[in-house]
Structure 1
Amino acid sequence: MRLSRYALALPALLGAALLVTPAAAQSAADRAADGAISQDFQEDEPVTYFSQSWLIDTMNRRTSESIRDVPRVHYGYYVVPEDQNRLEARLALYNKFGGDRDVIKPLLWLLNRNDLENLSPGDTLVVPSEFGLDFRAYSPFPRYYAGAADLDKVVILDKQIQAWGAYHRGELARWGIINTGVESARTPSGRFNVNWKQDYRVSTLSPGFGSSAPDAELWEMYWVMNLHEARGIHMHQYALPTSGPASHGCIRMLEPDAKWLYGWTDTWEVENQRDPISSVGADIVDQGTMVLIIGDDISEPPRPFLHRDAYPVIRMVDLPPDPYAVPAGSPQQKAFDRLGGRV
């Protein structure tokens, strides 16, 4: 694969061209990359998942163009009384904070990473001082990122908090929650770029791929954004369990986030491309939107709040002062760093 028209030569990377085409039409490398992402679509253990339809309005809520006009919130505790069953606990909770279940439930679910259907006496929830605000009001990402003020766009994925944030010229544009890789298949850390995107695809390794049977099992992927072509690491929509890391290396996102990010990010600029997606044999002239994957790996549910005796404190993501100081996460990125004189 050639990285640019300036004749920087590198060994060919494995192509992660995820196309809905017959398997025979794909290279062995393409099918291998298919397998990497398809592992995320294997049957999961019984777990509790976020109901994505419940969360759409909350996650998409915007009250102002600039985050300068978004109110700030603080947090407190709500303890479920000992004399209430689960239904009574939920109803009392909604009534205490205004009565609108469609506003209260999804926000508390996202903040606590906890399914409110299973509330029990004595359970403690973190609650904000105000509901129904622009969703950025509840962000664990700083509102401003000075180190990215000169970058048109940058995306941050934090593995410890299990959350993502997008910055436009250093100002927080959106954030959400994610699932990264389990202990046996960690999501790689480092600096990446969005390579190619595909809004929908069916994995060629699906058990029912190529079958016309109505009950054929197909692994469907939506809003796929490739970050590491050689390893087949992507951001994409998929079911998110509340239990923390769950994927085989890819970054799972909720539908509203994946769809928004798909439209917001830019892909690489490629010349002499033989394949509609893969860069194998092509010239990568320019890279897409920068993506930083940071934070320590965890194997348990994330803890987005520090629980002090008097009140909870949101754990803010520690952004790197200089995005370019984050080590390159792929051979492609390392090659561009050499070309740009960064190493």
Structure 2
Amino acid sequence: MIRSLALALLLVASGAAAQTYDQDVLGALLDRPGWVPEAPIPYAVYRVQHESGNSIRARHELYHVVGEGDVERGRQRLAIAQLFGYPPAGELRLGDELVLPARPRDFDLGALAFAPYPPIWTGASGVEKVVLVDKTSQTWAAYASGHLVRWGPASTGAARTPTPTGRFTMNWREMERESTEAPPGETWLMRYVMNIHARRGIHLHQYDVVPSGPPEGHGCVRMVEADARWLWDWSDAAARSRAGTTVIVQGSEPAGTPLRFVDGPDGPRRALVALPADPMRVPRGDR
């Protein structure tokens, strides 16, 4: 059920990668408090398998292992697989492989424990609030005086309509807005809209469809509702007396599923996002 595997590239559930995030499940995970261990979390490869060749029994066996003998607890713990882009546990198929915490107790940690971001950003210690969007990993993070306070999945613009990179500030915001990219006869509703590029109409916003694979958007940054709501409350729009919250967009669009794990000396390890040395020295992206 648990085995090691050389990670030449990326480990994903074979043929069962989720197409979009379940925002209700993800919201509960992202809002869940919990401590962050000092040492990195060890990961392992779990395989959905059973000698009977039956997918239902194979999933039941996986629940049993992850739940330390308690099938229902295992089913609930497997929800964190969606943080890594995997499908809901009930959709796993025979032969699928997932990279998950090696120790069952680590499944109960808060979302920050599984972040692909370092907990401290030294170069941002003098900046009250910084938001970073990483296109390569299709994730985002918020730092307060250099300390990681939130992260989550994101979906940026597709390769043909990329999200611009560079340093931005939050301009205006709007609770609800209809996208101008919608085809005739359709309405694409965005919520918690936070603009970072007024001329091009680039926003961070909630959207009902947030892909877990390659980005598909028209330049904006899609977020799940729990994250967009949190960021709306935490960040600051521009005002006469101050600039809005700094937003850094970096990286490039992945051609396939974003890289989430790499091969380490003792098994899989989280692929970490590299941060710029000083966020305020990143060239502006709206000029």
TM-score by length of 1: 0.70
1:185 equivalenced with 2:154 (yes/no): no
Q: CA deviation at 1:237?
A: 0.9
The ranges of structure 1 where at least 4 consecutive aligned residues each deviate by more than 4 angstroms after the TM superposition are 69-72, 203-208
1:79 equivalenced with 2:47 (yes/no): yes
Q: CA deviation at 1:218?
A: 2.9
Partner of 2:93: 120
1:313 equivalenced with 2:284 (yes/no): no
CA distance in 2, matches of 1:269, 1:148: 22
- Cα offsets for 1:265-295 (capped at 9, x unmatched): 001014xxxxxxxxxxxxxx53200010112
Alignment of 1:145-294 (within 5 A): 145-203=121-179, 217-238=186-207, 239-270=209-240, 286-294=242-250
2:262 and 2:270 in contact (8 A); partners too = yes
CA distance in 1, matches of 2:219, 2:182: 18
Alignment of 1:61-72 (within 5 A): 61-63=32-34, 72=40
AA aligned to 1:91 is H
CA distance in 1, matches of 2:243, 2:78: 40
Partner of 1:212: none
- Counterparts in 2 of 1:114 and 1:160: CA distance versus 1, 3 Å: farther
Gaps of at least 5 residues in structure 2 are: 1-17
CA distance in 1, matches of 2:120, 2:58: 38
Task: Choose the corresponding residue for 1:136, options 112, 125, 138.
Answer: 112
2:29 and 2:111 in contact (8 A); partners too = yes
- Counterparts in 2 of 1:301 and 1:206: CA distance versus 1, 3 Å: closer
- Counterparts in 2 of 1:57 and 1:205: CA distance versus 1, 3 Å: closer
1:326 equivalenced with 2:282 (yes/no): yes
Alignment of 1:51-62 (within 5 A): 51-62=22-33
Partner of 1:302: 258
Partner of 2:14: none
CA distance in 2, matches of 1:203, 1:108: 31
- Counterparts in 2 of 1:113 and 1:196: CA distance versus 1, 3 Å: farther
- Cα offsets for 1:21-58 (capped at 9, x unmatched): xxxxxxxxxxxxxxxxxxxxxxxxxx822111122221
SS in 1 for 2:285: coil
AA aligned to 2:140 is W
Q: CA deviation at 1:76?
A: 1.0
SS in 1 for 2:274: coil
Q: CA deviation at 1:252?
A: 0.7
1:187 and 1:250 in contact (8 A); partners too = yes
Q: CA deviation at 1:89?
A: 2.6
Q: Quick check: which has more Rg, 1 or 2?
A: 1
CA distance in 2, matches of 1:221, 1:132: 32
CA distance in 1, matches of 2:231, 2:201: 18
Q: CA deviation at 1:313?
A: 1.3
CA distance in 1, matches of 2:177, 2:132: 25
CA distance in 2, matches of 1:141, 1:245: 20
CA distance in 1, matches of 2:198, 2:64: 50
AA aligned to 1:152 is E
CA distance in 2, matches of 1:181, 1:206: 15
Alignment of 1:9-88 (within 5 A): 48-63=19-34, 72-81=40-49, 83=51, 84-88=53-57
Partner of 1:92: 61
Partner of 2:6: none
- Counterparts in 2 of 1:206 and 1:140: CA distance versus 1, 3 Å: closer
2:214 and 2:253 in contact (8 A); partners too = no
Aligned residues: 261
- Counterparts in 2 of 1:250 and 1:127: CA distance versus 1, 3 Å: same
CA distance in 2, matches of 1:201, 1:102: 37
AA aligned to 1:234 is H
SS in 2 for 1:286: coil
Q: CA deviation at 1:146?
A: 0.3
AA aligned to 2:262 is L
Q: CA deviation at 1:60?
A: 0.5
- Counterparts in 2 of 1:139 and 1:191: CA distance versus 1, 3 Å: same
